Amino acid sequence: MKTLFTLLATATFSLGDTPQAIIVLDASGSMWGQIEGKAKIEIARDVIAELLADLPSDLELGLVAYGHRREGDCDDIELLIPPGKVDRAKFQDTVNNIVPKGKTPLTASVEFAAQALNFAEEKSSVILVTDGLENCDRDPCATAKMLEEQGIDFTAHVVAFDLTAKDALTVECLATETGGQFLPAGDAASLATAIGMAVDTIVTPEEEVEVEPILENPVTLTAPDTVAAGARFEVGFAFEGEGKGHERDFITIVPIDTEERLWDNYSYTRDGSPVEITALPDPQKAEIRYLSGQTRKTLGCRPIELTAVTATVSAATEATAASQVEITWTGPAYPGDFITIVSKDAEEKTWAKYAYVKPGESVVKVAGLPTAGPCEIRYLLGQDRTTLARADILLTEAAATLSAPESVVVGSTVPVEWTGPMTPGDFITIVTKDTPEKKWAKYAYADEKNQPAQIQAPMTPGAAEIRYIVGQGRETLARVDIELTEATVTLSAPETIVAGSDVEIEWTGPNNAGDFITVVPKDLPEKKWAKYAYTDIGSPLKVAAPLDAGEAEIRYIAGQGRDTLARIPITIEAPTIVLTAAASAEAGSKVNVEWTAPNNQGDFITIVPKNTPEKKWLKYVYANAESPAGIEAPDEAGEAEIRYIAAQDRRTLARVPITITPSSKEE
């Protein structure tokens, strides 16, 4: 069952009030379905962008989404933006970041909106735009009756997006039971039109809405007697006598024996005659009908014959599995038409990898299936996936070879020479021997620029495999064994070091990509680190010690996985810091400060008012400058402090008081 794009705008206001609306976007899985080659979620985003661009300035708008966080959860309904003055950029960004994945709690969403807007005490309206049916065991018709009975003035407008007529009529009751509009929408243009009509109804006070009488006068239709199946064509319309249409009226094309009130492809008539309609995809005798938007009564009709369209596809009779196949084609190139390669016995209206066809072009490239066997190239109509042309092709087994050292150190970068089909997405990986098929670790794509491929080995010692994996289907095309050996690492450094100072560390080890050495408190959890240096600097290297005195460790940490490959203890001693200066100084004057300290790289000395927060400073001198040095005093008189601040985390390591007196230059 399709599950939907549902756009739900909800408003509660009375004449003279500012209209409020909530758009509820259903992000259920069917939103990835396509119309003329474009995903419905993308169509929805574009339509909402148009809506925002033309939004009346006095409309307050919010956003609700459902099905966007969890699969299979009928309670996944969330208010993302409360109704209010519209920040268009924020609104659109929020919509663009919604990812379809869940179910369609259609009925619960209508209730959610109604409750959110206090429907029992306030006038409220809902616009529901859905491409699917309720699939959370609720009855939308019963709920519509309840909301109409309990609400002070509740109205639901329904936009049926990409639904068949019969499916659409199952949710029509939400509109009819509450006095709302029912509006079909089959593509981006009609979706925008339908939502626009619904929003117009919300923002226009009820007293000013012109309600057209139900049309009784016949409508005369003009159109070609024949048209190619699937083609776009124009239909003109005119009313007899004084008759005129309603903005919800539409013209549809249906098989000639279709029962009343149903429709297929259609266009709204609100913009006048003529309108454009897409013919049905199958050759047949059909009928064009003008339907009342209020009653869906046929107000005018005329026959039309849909003639067959032809297409051809041709390619080499054999190709390597998963390889790119060059296909020459002819055909109508309607929007959304595409060419695919499937197994010979694949069901109709199914496809694998594909390429869209474009007017004016005659060649496409399509990736074949990853497995060998008899297959078929098919030209499919975008409208309903009917196969318009087909040709046989035999896919033969693809071959690949791999060559690399028999053993390497864990985590090292391994040069792998290879041959293979180089189909898009193919890659080479190194995994432990017991890794399931269609799983991988670090990898390199199998393309010409990666020859040989440079791949980082796993960190687990033991038997491993190099695998050539086909991008399509993730099948392993070739494999070769490789042994991963333990890494040998040594560390050497002084046994004690002053807090914050640089520790010179000699080391040996694999020096794999991203490996580094850090000095941390002994109780720091694994896969955590403090100041560090990458091993590609060479040996020895220097790392700043922590600022806290106590037992610590020097750790060699693997860049891949962050495992500690070696460690040695080191003791961090508290630094001895002495600051000496006069007990007082004039505001803004230079204060001669003398110090003894470790003078670690970046440490500095500053003078600040006593109430200055920690990790804040004014004018300063670096501690590695020559002592004593002049430091500018604060401009305001009062109690102050001389502070010695560590560069590593801006911690104050020592302080002495100083009194700042008014400047003698002040009058």
292 is a domain residue: yes
For 440-487, the DSSP string reads: -SSEEE-STTSSSEEEEPPSS-EEEEEEEE-TTT--EEEEEEEEEEPP
For β-strands 20-26 and 60-66, DSSP reports them as parallel
**DSSP 8-state symbol, 28:** B
pLDDT (tens digit per residue) in 376-429 = 999 999 888 899 999 999 999 888 999 999 999 999 999 999 999 888 889 999
| Residues 78, 155 share a domain | yes
CATH number for the domain that contains residue 556 = 2.60.40.1930
User: How many structural domains does the chain have?
Assistant: 6
Does residue 489 register a pLDDT over 80? yes
501 is a domain residue: yes
Query: At 57, is the pLDDT very low, low, confident or very high (cuts 50, 70, 90)?
Result: confident
- The mean pLDDT of 300-329, rounded to a whole number, is 94
156 is a domain residue: yes
| Residues 152, 33 share a domain | yes
Query: At 38, is the pLDDT very low, low, confident or very high (cuts 50, 70, 90)?
Result: confident
Q: In this structure, is the dihedral angle defined by the CA atoms of residues 467, 471, 472 and 473, taken in order, positive or negative?
A: positive
Name the least confident of 16-25, 297-306, 326-335. 16-25
Domain region containing 49 = 7-208
Does residue 58 register a pLDDT over 70? yes
pLDDT value at position 579? 97
Residue 484 near residue 409 (C-beta atoms within 8 A) = yes
| Residues 204, 72 share a domain | yes
Q: Can you say how many angstroms the Cα of residue 459 is from the centroid of all Cα atoms in its chain?
A: 32
The Cα 129–Cα 132 span in angstroms is 9
Does residue 316 register a pLDDT over 50? yes
Domain limit, last residue, from 466, 485, 504? 485
- The mean pLDDT of 558-584, rounded to a whole number, is 95
Percent of the chain with pLDDT over 90: 59
- The mean pLDDT of 170-181, rounded to a whole number, is 82
136 is a domain residue: yes
Does residue 568 register a pLDDT over 90? yes
pLDDT value at position 11? 40
| Residues 654, 639 share a domain | yes
- The mean pLDDT of 164-189, rounded to a whole number, is 81
Name the least confident of 200-209, 251-260, 615-624. 200-209
Does residue 64 register a pLDDT over 70? yes
Domain limit, last residue, from 485, 505, 525? 485
| Residues 57, 198 share a domain | yes
pLDDT value at position 117? 67
13 is a domain residue: yes
| Residues 57, 137 share a domain | yes
| Residues 290, 355 share a domain | no
CATH number for the domain that contains residue 316 = 2.60.40.10
Does residue 244 register a pLDDT over 90? no
pLDDT value at position 196? 79
The Cα 25–Cα 95 span in angstroms is 8
pLDDT (tens digit per residue) in 437-453 = 999 999 999 998 999 99
Rg of the chain in Å (alpha carbons): 37
Query: At 207, is the pLDDT very low, low, confident or very high (cuts 50, 70, 90)?
Result: very low
The Cα 316–Cα 576 span in angstroms is 82
Query: At 664, is the pLDDT very low, low, confident or very high (cuts 50, 70, 90)?
Result: confident
Long-range contacts: 265-271, Cβ < 8 Å, 24+?
265/186, 266/184, 266/186, 266/190, 266/291, 267/190, 267/235, 268/190, 268/193, 268/194, 269/237, 269/245, 270/193, 270/197, 270/245
- The mean pLDDT of 27-42, rounded to a whole number, is 83
pLDDT value at position 623? 94
656 is a domain residue: yes
| pLDDT: which is higher, 131 or 88 | 88
pLDDT value at position 208? 42
For the chain, the average pLDDT equals 88
Least Cα distance to 401 among 455, 445, 467 occurs for 467
pLDDT value at position 8? 41
213 is a domain residue: no
Three-state DSSP class for residue 600: coil
Buried b or exposed e, range 573-603, using 16+ CB within 10 angstroms:
eebebebebeeebbbbbebebebebbbbeeb
- The mean pLDDT of 598-607, rounded to a whole number, is 93
Percent of the chain with pLDDT over 70: 94
316 is a domain residue: yes
| Residues 368, 339 share a domain | yes
Does residue 517 register a pLDDT over 70? yes
Is the pTM for the entire model greater than 0.75?
no
| pLDDT: which is higher, 18 or 300 | 300
Residue type at position 376:
E
Domain limit, last residue, from 208, 230, 256? 208
Does residue 622 register a pLDDT over 70? yes
pLDDT value at position 6? 43
State residue 361 phi and psi, 5-degree precision. Answer: -110, 165
| pLDDT: which is higher, 81 or 516 | 516
- Written in H, E and C, the secondary structure of 99-125 is CCCECCCHHHHHHHHHHHCCCCCCEEE
pLDDT (tens digit per residue) in 348-377 = 999 998 999 999 999 999 989 888 999 999
| Residues 582, 448 share a domain | no
| pLDDT: which is higher, 159 or 205 | 159
- The mean pLDDT of 533-561, rounded to a whole number, is 96
The Cα 284–Cα 227 span in angstroms is 10
The Cα 455–Cα 356 span in angstroms is 35
The Cα 517–Cα 535 span in angstroms is 7
| Residues 136, 102 share a domain | yes
